[in-house]
Chain A
């Protein structure tokens, strides 16, 4: 048993922590998310330069780490509410490529990710599919050696910034069948791809993405045709663990801000932190965060587990606990800040909003509780 990090991992944390601290003050973030681009490509280049985009890849792919490095980076991202598309690009696209990509795909695309030249979005959700990864109405039909893609993907995070998309589609079978699903790599500007872009309530950008007779060459298929679901589940579990780490980092800062505020804000002639009802709430917030850290570790450790069922159970358990803690801490922070917590002026509101949306990302508390129940009953 060991919960220590290696020197190299500590260096990753120090590097990313410094970057977030120096470049992600609240006012800067606010300016960036209000800007036309909505993100900072130059910061992305800086992350590439620091080697951070290589961190979760093995040496064979030009990297130096794995899931623990992704966890560390996302926890620090969460502390600053960084919006750059690390999860869609490095964790999701990177995950599909390293677990399912051909040698040629890995070389071209993982290389592009590590250098910062390629930015990905992961188009999996559909308007009527909720959190079910197999509930797909998007189709990819075989046409000679190629595929033809048609469909509509919902709330694709980071799509306006992406040079490439990873798209899940049905190549055979019926809607909601586990079989018959395939994964494709599609250029963002391919003929027949169109988008409606918008901002999200937690400061990111996303799109509805439409595919109309998009021709995809056979070599854009990642992994096995018709048997993509196990790969998708593995990668989404990795992304879920990463978003859990982001939430845990955000919760930590939310708690710190709340404690600070309770020391500064005076009512009835005394800091409000001296009131027992608020003290107990902050004690609960601390405990929720500690339990989240534990679950973040559990999920990350189990990602490389041989047994799929054990991995899934651990990730779902983490997402349930962290989803619940995110809600509790977000709400408790606003309540403790009173009216000030309701304003756009204070950072705590942005943390609350991110924690609110995290709850549903890659599956809500209910979704993961249900998955955990099914796996436990099996």
Chain B
């Protein structure tokens, strides 16, 4: 039992911390994803691509760094500490591993370089209006026609598809299969193909991060299918297991607690900083305690991974507890800013007046973040589904 990092690991931490400090673009510092252009969102990814650090978890033959799980953990911790805009998961953590695990040599050669260097933006075509938690009931069809598939259907909740060059789609290729999980194929689609329409969905925080994707007679070469026909569910499940790792978001939440403490120190209650109020201080401590528990649980999972155990159903625990903490952070931030949680910063008059600010800057995102983060207990397998997984896979009920 030992929580210390080794001397080598500490040296590694210093190395990556220095690299981030020296290479993270200054104009991105302090910006949130919402405020960035497409190019800016890819910028850090591309810098990491040149350094050879964009896909640390991949096997070295495909460009991975060969870091241990602990080193990868340190890497993500340091990025969270610096609040960097990390490479989006759709290529690096989702379709990339599917391609190098199940794809042909031609597919690996064609797609992996663009994921590594951050030149190609990927999106995920999984959910449908009628297939959310029950993903296997998806209805989008891909019908074989000579050397092509012709795809028809509708996907939804497709994150940042408005910027995407390519998408990976789950399509039904055998409507007569005995079980819904059978008869699904995993197909890569060039988002410029005729017949694809991307419609942004406005969310309750006022932003547009997800989309509906309508596919009408979209003709895609059969060579774009990954692995075998009708085996897509297997690849999708593999991908979902990958999506889980890092889902606890411990490092980002730690940074979030620091920010919350800064806000609580700046806000006043009875002539004293809010952070000195026992009621509010108690809530922050409770959050930190729960986060400490999650961090150690996360490290235990990491140690298991280091010892060669793949992420199992216990990653459901990390997802549930991690998202609960992320949500509570936004609740406490909204509480901390008091009345200034109400103004909608998107509507602020653009009159160049800096003499009369509308509340402190840190208050502007408080309500939108609180609204937006409700998604975390819904996406990636809702927290109800995660509890079902724990019940079934761990409790054996």
Question: Does chain A bind chain B?
Answer: yes
A-B contacts, 11 listed (Cβ < 8 Å)? A125-B339, A127-B340, A135-B270, A196-B348, A199-B343, A277-B384, A335-B374, A342-B204, A342-B375, A343-B201, A360-B342
Would A366 and B335 count as touching, CB distance under 8 A? yes
- Count, chain A residues at interface, CB 8 A: 55
Would A155 and B340 count as touching, CB distance under 8 A? yes
Main secondary structure of the interface of B (DSSP, over half): mixed
Judged by a CB distance under 8 angstroms, whether A40 is at the interface is no
Would B279 and A267 count as touching, CB distance under 8 A? no
Which positions in B face A, CB cutoff 8 Å?
A: 127, 130, 132-134, 137, 156-157, 201-204, 206, 210, 267-271, 274, 279-280, 331, 334-335, 338-344, 346-349, 351, 353, 356, 358-359, 367-368, 370-371, 374-375, 377-379, 382-384, 387
A128 to B270, CA, bound (A): 10
Beyond A344-B204, A356-B367, whether A339 also contacts B137 by CB under 8 A is no
Shortest distance between the CB of A224 and any CB in chain B (Å): 25
Shortest distance between the CB of B362 and any CB in chain A (Å): 13
Given contacts A198-B347, A199-B344, A201-B341, 13 further A-B contacts (CB under 8 A): A127-B359, A130-B268, A155-B342, A201-B367, A204-B342, A335-B377, A338-B132, A339-B132, A339-B157, A339-B378, A360-B334, A364-B338, A370-B279
Shortest distance between the CB of B225 and any CB in chain A (Å): 27
Shortest distance between the CB of A162 and any CB in chain B (Å): 17
Would A130 and B338 count as touching, CB distance under 8 A? yes
A203 to B270, CA, bound (A): 30
**Interchain CB contact (< 8 A) of A154 among B201, B269, B359, B367:** B359
Q: What 3 pairs across the A-B complex have the smallest Cβ distances? A: A199-B347, A349-B204, A267-B134
Contacts of B331 in A (CB 8 A): 327
A268 to B150, CA, bound (A): 27
Chain A, residues 126-146, CB within 8 Å of chain B (1/0): the string is 011111100100000000000
Contacts of B346 in A (CB 8 A): 199
Judged by a CB distance under 8 angstroms, whether A187 is at the interface is no
A353 to B358, CA, bound (A): 20
Interface centre among B132, B156, B353 (most CB of A within 10 A): B132
Q: Which of A339-371 contact B (CB under 8 A)?
A: 339, 341-345, 349-350, 352-353, 356-357, 359-360, 364, 366, 369-370
Task: Using CB atoms, name the residue of chain A closest to B269.
Answer: A130
Would A342 and B279 count as touching, CB distance under 8 A? no
Would A200 and B342 count as touching, CB distance under 8 A? yes
Beyond A268-B134, A357-B342, whether A342 also contacts B378 by CB under 8 A is yes
Q: Which of A266-295 contact B (CB under 8 A)?
A: 266-269, 275, 277-278
Contacts of B349 in A (CB 8 A): 196-198
Shortest distance between the CB of B335 and any CB in chain A (Å): 6
A266 to B139, CA, bound (A): 14
Contacts of A345 in B (CB 8 A): 201-202
Contacts of A268 in B (CB 8 A): 133-134, 137
Would A202 and B342 count as touching, CB distance under 8 A? yes
**Interchain CB contact (< 8 A) of B387 among A129, A277, A335:** A277
Contacts of B204 in A (CB 8 A): 334, 341-344, 349-350, 352-353
A343 to B130, CA, bound (A): 16
Contacts of A350 in B (CB 8 A): 204
Beyond A196-B349, A267-B134, A369-B279, whether A201 also contacts B344 by CB under 8 A is yes
A345 to B129, CA, bound (A): 14
**Interchain CB contact (< 8 A) of B371 among A196, A327, A353, A370:** A353
Would A343 and B358 count as touching, CB distance under 8 A? no
Contacts of A356 in B (CB 8 A): 334, 367, 370-371
Task: Using CB atoms, name the residue of chain B closest to A203.
Answer: B344
Interface centre among A125, A130, A266, A364 (most CB of B within 10 A): A130
Shortest distance between the CB of A352 and any CB in chain B (Å): 7
Would B335 and A364 count as touching, CB distance under 8 A? yes
A269 to B353, CA, bound (A): 56
A327 to B330, CA, bound (A): 13
Shortest distance between the CB of B257 and any CB in chain A (Å): 18
Shortest distance between the CB of B397 and any CB in chain A (Å): 13
Would A196 and B340 count as touching, CB distance under 8 A? no
Shortest distance between the CB of B358 and any CB in chain A (Å): 6
Judged by a CB distance under 8 angstroms, whether A227 is at the interface is no
Shortest distance between the CB of A134 and any CB in chain B (Å): 10
Task: Using CB atoms, name the residue of chain B closest to A350.
Answer: B204
A200 to B347, CA, bound (A): 8
Would A198 and B358 count as touching, CB distance under 8 A? yes
Task: Using CB atoms, name the residue of chain A closest to B347.
Answer: A199
A350 to B205, CA, bound (A): 10
Shortest distance between the CB of B145 and any CB in chain A (Å): 31
Task: Using CB atoms, name the residue of chain A closest to B209.
Answer: A342
Contacts of B206 in A (CB 8 A): 201, 344
Shortest distance between the CB of A232 and any CB in chain B (Å): 16
Chain A, residues 323-336, CB within 8 Å of chain B (1/0): the string is 00001000100110
**Interchain CB contact (< 8 A) of A357 among B137, B201, B341, B358:** B341
Shortest distance between the CB of B278 and any CB in chain A (Å): 10
Judged by a CB distance under 8 angstroms, whether A208 is at the interface is yes
Contacts of A175 in B (CB 8 A): 271
Shortest distance between the CB of B26 and any CB in chain A (Å): 30
A352 to B375, CA, bound (A): 13
A352 to B358, CA, bound (A): 24
A125 to B359, CA, bound (A): 12
**Interchain CB contact (< 8 A) of B270 among A132, A157, A331, A359:** A132
Judged by a CB distance under 8 angstroms, whether A210 is at the interface is yes
Shortest distance between the CB of B275 and any CB in chain A (Å): 13
Beyond A130-B267, A154-B359, A278-B384, whether A357 also contacts B378 by CB under 8 A is no
